[in-house]
Amino acid sequence: MQQLIEPLAGLVAAGGVVVLSGAGLSTESGIPDYRGPSGVARRHTPMTYQTFLADAAARRRYWARSHLGWRLIAGAAPNDGHRAVARLQQSGLVTGIITQNVDGLHSAAGSRDVTELHGRLDEVVCLGCRRRTSRAELDGRLRAANPGFVGQAAAVNPDGDVDLADAQVAAFRTVDCVACGGLLKPDVVFFGETVPADRVQSCFAMVEQARLLLVLGSSLTVMSGRRFVLRAAKRDVPVVIVNQGSTRGDEYACLRVEAPLGRLLPALADRLLGAGPAVGSAALPGVPSPVGG
């Protein structure tokens, strides 16, 4: 582990670090990712925004699965990796955090001003009046509407979705907004839905002002997260990627580290913030610009 820490510590030591995190950071909290070594293969197509709006049966299926999955997400606690990121932010070395995760664990670990790119599962929005409520409140209403619901799931996906038998889904009752009767949706970005433009622009600005973009636990498979790596490379902001498994941003990284985040990040924070010799900042090698970026 020490041989992995030293080059990473040298790059992070000068500060100005913006973190871009993905599902791999939460695996040690019991939330599997989709593509990493602890990932769970999905057996059904993820819900799209268009289907959620148009198909009442699909909405019932989503809420039945998500109702059960939410209980598992709500019980998850930040792991040592989340807490290490919070320590690095509190020290001033990390100046911004962008997460693709919807589990809220960065904030639970003590990080502040986290930009949650895809929203949060613990918040619900009415698509009619836009009233926002807590997921805990909705959970209580769904429990009351489904007193006999005892669904079982082998595993939960990073978005809180699980696999359930059709018979369990068919018996599930959904609820609507108490204020206007409108459709309720978790305040997260579904497939086929766009991240709010102001949120994306805020993240771009954060990346452009960074000294270093540190990617943690993301395969960068989808453009939603990879665009920030491309923007960093285009603006000559060095990129460091820590992930178990290859990513679609590896070609832009000046340093690529393969290690469990729950072990590496606490060791990094201890090296930089704890007792021991001071770490000098390393020179940052150039990063190739993306083709057509």
User: Catalytic pick from 67, 82, 106, 118?
Assistant: 118
With contact defined as beta carbons under 8 Å apart, do 60 and 244 qualify?
no
Q: In the numeric block, which tokens belong to residue 278?
A: 């001071």
129 labelled binding-site residue: yes
203 labelled binding-site residue: no
244 labelled binding-site residue: yes
- The owner of tokens 């949650």 is 116
243 labelled binding-site residue: yes
Q: In the numeric block, which tokens belong to residue 267?
A: 């060791």
Q: Which helix (H) or strand (E) holds 145?
A: helix 135-145
101 labelled binding-site residue: yes
Q: In the numeric block, which tokens belong to residue 200?
A: 């994306």
By DSSP bridging, strand 212-216 and strand 17-21 are: parallel
Residue type, 54: A
Where does residue 191 rank: exposed (0-12), middle (13-18), buried (19+ CB within 10 A)?
middle
Rounded Cα gap, residues 25 and 22, in angstroms = 6
90 labelled binding-site residue: no
102 labelled binding-site residue: yes
168 labelled binding-site residue: no
44 labelled catalytic? no
245 labelled binding-site residue: yes
218 labelled binding-site residue: yes
Contacts of residue 166, defined as CB under 8 A and 6 or more positions apart, other chains included, come to none
Annotated binding site for NAD(+): 100-103, 217-219, 243-245, 261
Q: Which residues are annotated as a binding site for Zn(2+)?
A: 126, 129, 177, 180
Catalytic residue positions, numbered: 118
Q: Where is the binding site, in residues?
A: 100-103, 126, 129, 177, 180, 217-219, 243-245, 261
